A and B are shown apart, each in its own frame.
Chain A
Amino acid sequence: MALLHKLPATISGSCCIRNLARCSLVLDAASPSLHRTFASNSTSTTTPLLKTPLYDLHLAHGASMHPFAGFSMPITYESQSIVESNKWVRNQAGLFDVSHMVQHIFTGKDVTAFLERITPTDVKELAPYTSVYSMFLNNNGGIVDDIIITKHADDKYYIVTNAACRDTDLAFLDQQNKIHRPIDISHEILDGWGLLALQGPRAAEALQCLTDFDLTQLKFGNVGLVPFNGSEYWVSRTGYTGEDGFEISIPNDETLAFSEILLGQSNSVVKLAGLGVRDALRLEVGLCLYGQDLDETTTPIQASLSWVVGKRRRVEGGFNGFDLIADELNNGASRRRVGFLSDGPPARQGSRIYDETGTTLIGVVTSGLPSPTVGKNIAMGYVEKQFMKRGTNVLFDIRSRKRPGTVAKMPFVPTNYYR
């Protein structure tokens, strides 16, 4: 047996909310035969892989480590299969190491205007200490990366971007900086910092044990500077699983100790969770993975993420690719991202989608797997707009055989955010 998936030319990553795994890729790397391919083809054999502050902890917990975006990252842990881990995060709490993601600090009075230039978000109206899902856009309205913007103040922002997009993001920011020439702006990357995602219905209970800060003050999308045993960390009530949860930014040398405290609590509701289950969790709630579901040729409208474009921005414009995006907002995009349900073998990334007669190619699957929570196969992909209606029957080409599926509503699993 060998893996069907081919390794993508580039590995993509995740963004904080969203985060991680370019999964099928990472995942594939976990299989024996693919692993050999990976090792021989990957540049990782020449460049040593980076380690997060939790590298030793992962090994101590029997993690299956694989290269991801230049880092050695845990895909699964010995104690739980992906299905078990999925159930755990949906019922208890999972701790994800997402320290490979890129944490940026932008300061200066021109930052707001600069961010309004390169993203479609209402950055001006964003309240201090709140975070929002957004994206860097190129001049064609294509998505350079999907990101989380957190406003601390009008002249200070914290942004998390995908690890796999690091080089392209930095080149993009550099290029945009040259075009728009903001004067008062400085940019710092928190290299080596830890970023932990604590996710699940019991995440708040676990975190509350470690602080006097009243976590009920933080609703979904809120950010606070929370004291923990003499230190203070930025905690954001967000995540990439659809569950209630937090993302915690921690200096490198404190990340391990903090994680060990969380994992060592007597009630033991927190278990480590890897990038493998993260991919299943995010797909179950319809969240995109950059490099798979989103890329530079895809606009937010085509990606069914038009809600990212702020109300004022739709009228005023003033961001990259506005003309094209405005046209798609008014007249519809030629193709759209939709969800699918099916039985039998799962449609996965790259499966071609045909109309129900099987004669006309109408799109392609960008992510898909058997959902542990739903108990059916779930997928997302792009189809021509006349096929985007819920209930439309389609055929997936899986191993050269056409298998039925249906356009379905996303999320596949209801979200459970703390609002």
Chain B
Amino acid sequence: MSYQKSILMASTNMAAFRSRLPAAARSTRFVPLLCNRFYSNTSPKTIASLFTVRRTAPLTSPFTVSSRRGYVNGKDEELPEGLRYTEEHEWLALEDGNLAVVGITAYASKALGDVVYVELPSVGTSIVAGEPIGAVESVKSASDIYSPVSGEIIEVNEQLDKKPGLVNAEPYRKGWICKILMKDTTELESMMDNKGYETFIASS
């Protein structure tokens, strides 16, 4: 198993863990501890891998732990803290290391109106930043989703097949589009932060 794949697997496990925790406890920082205390039936092996990830994840993440907490707990009508944005109104959250979660912003989903269909990319597809990876359809328009970064699609939000409205209701949470294993985390440097994106939408 390659280095990247092992990170990926472990981080997916951690995401699954986090989702089982009480909302207030979903900060990455507390996951291992809380797991031990409240989920003692969890196999030691899984917990071990979580710790491994914490130690081996590349330290290139532009997101601080506290900002990740913002992403997890933020209200959807506000910009969650610590995300990166494109001029095409996609957001990106670095889940761990070089695993990016991608979605469209609340501003975009509001402008689209009720989303009735989301075209998802295929898992395993290699993509280059700026390439279309899917589309969001509302009654009034169809909009391409462009990949903010280069890499490989490793997971898509299949819930959107049945519930495309999640893109409107929870654009930063359950309405995420796909996860991309990034090739080059320096691509994040050219993306906007919260302040930059707020300025950008105010002027558009």
Q: Contact between B143 and A31 (Cβ–Cβ < 8 Å)?
A: yes
Q: Contact between B114 and A32 (Cβ–Cβ < 8 Å)?
A: no
**Residues of A308-360 whose CB lies within 8 A of B:** 344-346, 348
Q: State whether A372 and B108 are in contact (beta carbons under 8 Å apart), knowing that A1-B146, A346-B117 are contacts in the complex.
A: no
Q: Contact between A4 and B114 (Cβ–Cβ < 8 Å)?
A: no
In the complex, B132 has a CB within 8 A of chain A: yes
Q: State whether A2 and B144 are in contact (beta carbons under 8 Å apart), knowing that A31-B112, A33-B88 are contacts in the complex.
A: yes
Q: Contact between B140 and A344 (Cβ–Cβ < 8 Å)?
A: no
Q: State whether A5 and B113 are in contact (beta carbons under 8 Å apart), knowing that A32-B89, A33-B88, A345-B119 are contacts in the complex.
A: no
A28 to B137, CA, bound (A): 12
Kindly list chain A residues whose C-beta atoms are within 8 Å of the C-beta of B141.
3-5, 24, 27-28, 30-31, 34
Q: Contact between A2 and B140 (Cβ–Cβ < 8 Å)?
A: no
Kindly list chain A residues whose C-beta atoms are within 8 Å of the C-beta of B191.
none
In the complex, B204 has a CB within 8 A of chain A: yes
Q: Looking at the complex, which one of A23, A81, A346 makes contact with B142 (CB distance below 8 Å)?
A: A346
In the complex, A103 has a CB within 8 A of chain B: no
Q: State whether A1 and B139 are in contact (beta carbons under 8 Å apart), knowing that A399-B119, A399-B132 are contacts in the complex.
A: no
In the complex, B111 has a CB within 8 A of chain A: yes
Q: State whether A4 and B204 are in contact (beta carbons under 8 Å apart), knowing that A32-B111, A399-B119 are contacts in the complex.
A: no
In the complex, A369 has a CB within 8 A of chain B: yes
A2 to B111, CA, bound (A): 11
Kindly list chain B residues whose C-beta atoms are within 8 Å of the C-beta of A370.
116-117, 137-139
In the complex, B94 has a CB within 8 A of chain A: no
Kindly list chain A residues whose C-beta atoms are within 8 Å of the C-beta of B142.
3-5, 345-346, 348
Kindly list chain A residues whose C-beta atoms are within 8 Å of the C-beta of B14.
none
Q: Contact between A27 and B144 (Cβ–Cβ < 8 Å)?
A: no
Tally of contacts, chain A with chain B, CB under 8 A: 98
Q: Contact between A369 and B201 (Cβ–Cβ < 8 Å)?
A: no
Kindly list chain A residues whose C-beta atoms are within 8 Å of the C-beta of B146.
1-2
Q: Contact between A1 and B140 (Cβ–Cβ < 8 Å)?
A: no
Q: Contact between B140 and A279 (Cβ–Cβ < 8 Å)?
A: yes
In the complex, B107 has a CB within 8 A of chain A: yes
In the complex, A134 has a CB within 8 A of chain B: no
A398 to B116, CA, bound (A): 16
Mark each residue of chain B from 93 to 114: 1 if its CB lies under 8 Å from any CB of chain A, else 0. Answer: 0000000000010011001111
A24 to B139, CA, bound (A): 10
In the complex, B81 has a CB within 8 A of chain A: no
Kindly list chain B residues whose C-beta atoms are within 8 Å of the C-beta of A5.
141-142
In the complex, B53 has a CB within 8 A of chain A: no
In the complex, B57 has a CB within 8 A of chain A: no
| Residue of B108, B112, B114, B139 most packed against chain A (CB within 10 A) | B139
A152 shortest CB reach to chain B, Å: 37
Kindly list chain B residues whose C-beta atoms are within 8 Å of the C-beta of A279.
140
In the complex, B136 has a CB within 8 A of chain A: yes
Q: Contact between A33 and B113 (Cβ–Cβ < 8 Å)?
A: no
Q: Contact between B113 and A1 (Cβ–Cβ < 8 Å)?
A: no
**Residues of B31-57 whose CB lies within 8 A of A:** none
B131 shortest CB reach to chain A, Å: 12
In the complex, A35 has a CB within 8 A of chain B: yes
In the complex, B156 has a CB within 8 A of chain A: no
Kindly list chain B residues whose C-beta atoms are within 8 Å of the C-beta of A4.
135, 141-144
B84 shortest CB reach to chain A, Å: 15
Q: Contact between A36 and B88 (Cβ–Cβ < 8 Å)?
A: no
Q: State whether A32 and B108 are in contact (beta carbons under 8 Å apart), knowing that A1-B89, A1-B146, A345-B119 are contacts in the complex.
A: yes
In the complex, A118 has a CB within 8 A of chain B: no
**Residues of A111-132 whose CB lies within 8 A of B:** none
Q: Chain B: which residue is nearest A81 at the CB level?
A: B114
In the complex, A280 has a CB within 8 A of chain B: yes
Mark each residue of chain B from 124 to 154: 1 if its CB lies under 8 Å from any CB of chain A, else 0. Answer: 0000000010011111111111100000000
Q: Chain A: which residue is nearest B107 at the CB level?
A: A32
In the complex, A255 has a CB within 8 A of chain B: no
**Residues of A1-36 whose CB lies within 8 A of B:** 1-5, 23-24, 27-28, 30-36
Sample 12 A-B pairs with CB under 8 A, ordered by A number: A1-B108, A1-B144, A3-B141, A24-B141, A27-B141, A30-B111, A32-B108, A36-B204, A345-B117, A348-B142, A370-B139, A399-B132
Q: Which residues of A contact B (CB under 8 A)?
A: 1-5, 23-24, 27-28, 30-36, 75-76, 81-83, 86, 276, 279-280, 344-346, 348, 369-370, 372, 399
Given contact pairs A82-B114, A86-B139, a sample of 16 additional A-B residue pairs in the complex whose CB atoms are under 8 Å apart: A1-B88, A1-B89, A1-B104, A1-B108, A1-B136, A2-B88, A31-B111, A32-B107, A33-B143, A83-B113, A83-B114, A345-B119, A346-B137, A370-B116, A370-B139, A399-B135
Among all A-B residue pairs, the 10 with the closest Cβ atoms: A27-B140, A1-B143, A370-B116, A82-B139, A83-B114, A1-B145, A4-B142, A31-B111, A81-B114, A32-B111
